Structure 1
Amino acid sequence: MENRNRNQTLSIRLTQAEKSAICKKSKKAHLTLTEYILKSSLHTEIKVIDLQPLLVELKRIGNNLNQITRKINSGAFNSYNFSEMIAMQRKIYDTIIKLSEKK
């Protein structure tokens, strides 16, 4: 790590277990605690995924499916096998859940 005048401080609150884990990792990497935290935070990319547009579109699709189901149930037209469409909806939903858990 390059030498520079470090005149700023940053305070964070940790549990004892979190602090111990970070200290152990810094020792294992043969870095000071400051160097370890700097390298970890400055060289680690965190991806932020905005799921709001997907959720809005998924809700619209769900609303359309509900309208179609109501028309089928009221006898407006004959039933159609929606199993493939439901399976795809479930797949989209599962993917969104997986993406949201990565945050």
Structure 2
Amino acid sequence: MIIAKRKRNVTLSIRLTAEEKKEIATKAKQAQMSLTDYLIECSRKTTIKVTDLSAILVELKRIGNNLNQIARKANSRRFFFAKFDSVIEGQRKIYDAILNMMGEDKTWRQ
């Protein structure tokens, strides 16, 4: 799709690596568009979804701390419970999935 001709009197500058610029220029060429038209079209069609999961992460960390306390007591034989391995593993998966959704490159740490 070619964007209608119009007066372009505003400049937007961005910094890229040579590799990033080459990749974008290649895609623009494949789409048979100018680099400017390609970037405008991509930005207009892209929906950014912002998800604030901070409160959920705080609560999950609290739950994780509680699970660790229970596990320590169970392992010290102060009282006996069924194994919590599956619960702890489930907690790790939830935590990692939320971090992934937030775009953070972290994993569960003990």
Aligned-CA RMSD value = 2.4
Unaligned stretches of 5+ in structure 2? Answer: 106-110
Residue in structure 2 matched with residue 55 of structure 1 by the alignment: 57
Give me the identity figure in percent.
Answer: 51
Give TM-score, length-normalised by structure 2.
Answer: 0.73
> Runs (4+) of structure 1 moved beyond 4 Å?
none
Which range moved further: 27-36 or 44-53?
A: 44-53
**Which aligned pairs between 1:72-87 and structure 2 lie closer than 5 A?**
72=74, 73=76, 75=78, 77-87=79-89
Q: Look up the match of 2:27.
A: 25
> Per-residue displacement from partner, 1:49-88 (whole Å, max 9, x unpaired)?
323122111111012113323443262x323321331232
Q: Structure with the greater relative contact order (CA < 8 A, sep ≥ 6): 1 or 2? A: 1
Q: What letter corresponds to residue 61 of structure 2 in structure 1?
A: K
Structure 1's unaligned 5+ residue stretches are none
SS of 2:102's equivalent? helix
Higher helix share: 1
